[in-house]
C-alpha cells in the first residue's frame, strides 16, 4: 500500500502500514478523512482474518457481519438522515443511545468500537495481532484528541463506542457460531453414505474424513427473513450419460481439457484459501474497500457499506451451509473418476465440505448486489488483492490483477473460477448466484435512512 505522509514540510515522517499504524514524533498531524479511517479498520480486519489460525470462510463471514454492523451502529446517531437498524435484526433489540445534548467525536466513537469488536470477535488471535489492533486505535485516538480540546468529549466518545461494540458482541455469543473455530470438524458426525453423496476426496486442500462446520446452517441469521428462504432446486442424481446430472459433470470434465491461461489465473485468484488469504468473505470486504477508496464517501456511508457487505456475506454463508448439508452432494473429484475417467483430477483441490450450492458464488453475489445498490451498476475497478503473491509453480500460473466494469461481473467470475478449478458443476454456481442476490436484497431493504417528511 502507498505510504502516507503524516507530517507536513519540516516534520518527521511516519510510514503507515496498510493494516496498522505506528506513532512517531510529530509536530503537525494530517487528520485522516472519513474514508481513510474506515478503510484503515477494514484493512486491519482483513489482516486479522488472514493471520488468525484455524480461521475458516464460515467463521470469517460471521466476523465480518458483526464487525461491519458495529461500525455502522457506532456512528449512525451522528447523522440525522440515517437511523439504527438494530431493532430490525434477529433478536438484537435497541442499542444504547448517545446522551442527549452532549457532543461526540464520531470518528473517535468508530475508532473505539472497531478496536473493541475486532479484539472480541477474534479473541483467539495472537498477542502480536492484538497489539496491532491496540496500536491502530491509539494512533487514531492521539490524532483526534489533538483536535478535540474538550477531554469530556473524548472520554464520552470512547466509552460510547466500546459500549456499542460490547452489546453487539454479547448478542453475537448467542448465534450458534461463537468460537466456532474450536469445532471446525465434528468427529462424532454420522452421515448417510448415499449415491451422489459427499465423500472425503483424495485430492483435497486439507484432507479430513469429516466435512467442515456441519452444524453452521443452524446458526441465527442477521435477518430472520433470510432463514426462511426456500432451498434451491437440485438436479436429481443419475449416472446415465444422457442424464442432466451426468452432463453437469461432463462440462467440468471437458473444460479441464481446454483451460486457458486466463481461466487458470481466475481459478487461483479467487481461491482465497484460509491461512494464505483473507478468505472469500474477506475478498468481498476488500472489494467494499476499493469502492470506498474510489468514491471517498462520508463516514456513515463507509460504515453502511461495511455493514451491508458484512451481514450479506454472513447470512449467505449461513444459508449456503444449511443447504450444503441438506443436499450433501459430491464433487467432480469423486464422480468423474468413478463414472467417466479414473485418472481425472481437478485443476484445483477440493475444499473439505459438500458442493451444493457454491459458497464462492453465493457470497460473491450477495456482496455484488449490495455494492451495486450503493455504488451503481457500472462501477469500474481493478482488484489487486493478490498482486505480489509468489507464482503458483505447480500450476504454472501467476497472480494477475483483475479488472471489472461492474461488481456483478466480478461475482460471475468468482463463481466461474470454481468451475474452472473443477470444484463446482454449473448448477452449484447458478443456484448460488441466485440465492446470494435474494439474501442481499433483504439486506438492502432494511430501513437505513429515515423516511423523508
Helix (H), strand (E), coil (C) string for the chain: CCCCCCECCCCCCCCECCCCECCCCCCCECCCCHHHHHHHHHHHHHHHHHHCCCCCHHHHHHHHHHHHHHHHHHHHHHCCCECCCHHHCCCCCCCCCCCCCCCCCHHHHHHHHHHHHHHHHCCCCCHHHHHHHHHHHHHHHHHHHCCCCCHHHHHHHHHHHHHHHHHHHHHHCCCCCCCHHHHCECCCCCCCCCCCECCCCCCECCCCCCCECCCHHHCCCCCHHHHHCCCCCCCCCCCCCCCHHHHHHHHHHHHHHCCCHHHHHHHHHCCCCECCECHHHHHHHHHHHHHHHHHCCCHHHHHHHHHHHHHHHHHHHHHHHHHHHHHCECCHHHHHHHHCCCCCCCCCCECCCCCCCCHHHHHHHHHHHHHHHHHCCCCCEEECCCCCCCCECCCCECCCCEEECCHHHHHHHHHHHHHHCCCCCHHHHHHHHHHHHHHHHHHHCCCCECCCC
What is the Cα–Cα distance from 74 to 436, expressed in whole angstroms? 27
Of the candidates 232, 365, 298, the one whose C-alpha atom is nearest the C-alpha of residue 38 is 298
Q: Is the pLDDT of residue 3 over 90?
A: no
Give Cα separations from 412 to 145, 245, 361, 366, 404 (angstroms): 45, 22, 7, 11, 11
* pLDDT value, residue 453: 72
Query: Would you place residue 28 in the very low, low, confident or very high pLDDT band (cuts 50, 70, 90)?
Result: low
Q: What is the pLDDT of residues 203-241, one digit of tens each?
A: 777 767 899 999 999 999 999 999 999 999 999 999 999
Q: What is the pLDDT of residues 366-422, one digit of tens each?
A: 999 999 999 999 999 999 999 999 999 999 999 999 999 999 999 999 999 999 999
CATH of 180-444, one of 3.90.230.10, 3.90.1150.10, 1.20.1200.10, 1.10.606.20: 1.10.606.20
Q: Torsion angle of alpha carbons 288, 63, 414, 330, nearest 10°?
A: -170
Could you read off the pLDDT of 409-428 as tens digits, one per residue?
A: 999 999 999 999 999 999 99
Interatomic CA distance for residues 125 and 210, integer angstroms = 25
Asked whether the bond before 357 is cis by omega within 30 degrees of 0, the reply is yes
C-alpha cell at position 449: 435512512
**pLDDT reported for residue 205:** 74
Question: Any residues with CB less than 8 A from the CB of 359 and at least 6 apart, and which?
Answer: 57, 280, 317, 320, 321, 324, 432
Quote the cell numbers at residue 6. 503524516
Q: How far is residue 402's CA from residue 266's CA, in Å, rounded to a whole number?
A: 8
CATH architecture observed for domain 37-172: Up-down Bundle (1.20)
Residue 29 phi, psi (nearest 5): -110, 140
pLDDT digits (tens, 9 = 90+) for 143-164: 999 998 899 999 999 999 999 9
Q: What is the mean pLDDT of the chain?
A: 93
Mean pLDDT on 56-74: 98
| Segments making up each domain of the chain, as ranges | 1-30, 37-172, 180-444
For 417, the grid coordinates are 473460477
* 43 grid coordinates: 484493512
Distances (CA, A) of 438 to 203, 228, 367, 418: 33, 11, 11, 21
pTM for this entry: 0.93
Amino acid at each position: 500500500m502507498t505510504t502516507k505522509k503524516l507530517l507536513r514540510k519540516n516534520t518527521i515522517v511516519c510510514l503507515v502500514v496498510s493494516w496498522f499504524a505506528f506513532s512517531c514524533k510529530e509536530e503537525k498531524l494530517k487528520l485522516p478523512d472519513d474514508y481513510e479511517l474506515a478503510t484503515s479498520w477494514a484493512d486491519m480486519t482483513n489482516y486479522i482474518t488472514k493471520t488468525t489460525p484455524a480461521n475458516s470462510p464460515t467463521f470469517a463471514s460471521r466476523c465480518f457481519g458483526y464487525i461491519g454492523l458495529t461500525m455502522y451502529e457506532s456512528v449512525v446517531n451522528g447523522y440525522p438522515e440515517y437511523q439504527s437498524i438494530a431493532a430490525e435484526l434477529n433478536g438484537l433489540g435497541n442499542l444504547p443511545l448517545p446522551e442527549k445534548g452532549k457532543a461526540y467525536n464520531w470518528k473517535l466513537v468508530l475508532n473505539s468500537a472497531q478496536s473493541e469488536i475486532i479484539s472480541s470477535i477474534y479473541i483467539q488471535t495472537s498477542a502480536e495481532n492484538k497489539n496491532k489492533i491496540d496500536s491502530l486505535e491509539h494512533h487514531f485516538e492521539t490524532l483526534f484528541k489533538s483536535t478535540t480540546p474538550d477531554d469530556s468529549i473524548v472520554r464520552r466518545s470512547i466509552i460510547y463506542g466500546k459500549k456499542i461494540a460490547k452489546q453487539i458482541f454479547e448478542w453475537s455469543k448467542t448465534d450458534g457460531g461463537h468460537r466456532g473455530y474450536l469445532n471446525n470438524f465434528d468427529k462424532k458426525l454420522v452421515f448417510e453414505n448415499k449415491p451422489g453423496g459427499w465423500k472425503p476426496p483424495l485430492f483435497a486442500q486439507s484432507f479430513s474424513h469429516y466435512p467442515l462446520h456441519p452444524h453452521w446452517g443452524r446458526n441465527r441469521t442477521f435477518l430472520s427473513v433470510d432463514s426462511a428462504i426456500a432451498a434451491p432446486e437440485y438436479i436429481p442424481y443419475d449416472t446415465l450419460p444422457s442424464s442432466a446430472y451426468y452432463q453437469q459433470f461432463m462440462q467440468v470434465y471437458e473444460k479441464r481439457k481446454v483451460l486457458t491461461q486466463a481461466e487458470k489465473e481466475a481459478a487461483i485468484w479467487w481461491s482465497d484459501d484460509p491461512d494464505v488469504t483473507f478468505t472469500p468473505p474477506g475478498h468481498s470486504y476488500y472489494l467494499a474497500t476499493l469502492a470506498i477508496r474510489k468514491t471517498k464517501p462520508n463516514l456513515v456511508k463507509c460504515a453502511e457499506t461495511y455493514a451491508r457487505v458484512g451481514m450479506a456475506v454472513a447470512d449467505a454463508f449461513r444459508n449456503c451451509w444449511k443447504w450444503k448439508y441438506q443436499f450433501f452432494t459430491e464433487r467432480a473429484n469423486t464422480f468423474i473418476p468413478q463414472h467417466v475417467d479414473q485418472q481425472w483430477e481437478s485443476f484445483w483441490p477440493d475444499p473439505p465440505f459438500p458442493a451444493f450450492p457454491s459458497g464462492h458464488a453465493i457470497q460473491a453475489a450477495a456482496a455484488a448486489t449490495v455494492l451495486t445498490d450503493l455504488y451503481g451498476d457500472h462501477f469500474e475497478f481493478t482488484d489487486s488483492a493478490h498482486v505480489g503473491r509468489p507464482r503458483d509453480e505447480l500450476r504454472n500460473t501467476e497472480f494477475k490483477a483483475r479488472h471489472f466494469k461492474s461488481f456483478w461481473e466480478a461475482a460471475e467470475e468468482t463463481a466461474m473460477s470454481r468451475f474452472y478449478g473443477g470444484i463446482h458443476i454449473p448448477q452449484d454456481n447458478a443456484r448460488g448466484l441466485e440465492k446470494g442476490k435474494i439474501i442481499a436484497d433483504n439486506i438492502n431493504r432494511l430501513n437505513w435512512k429515515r423516511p423523508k417528511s
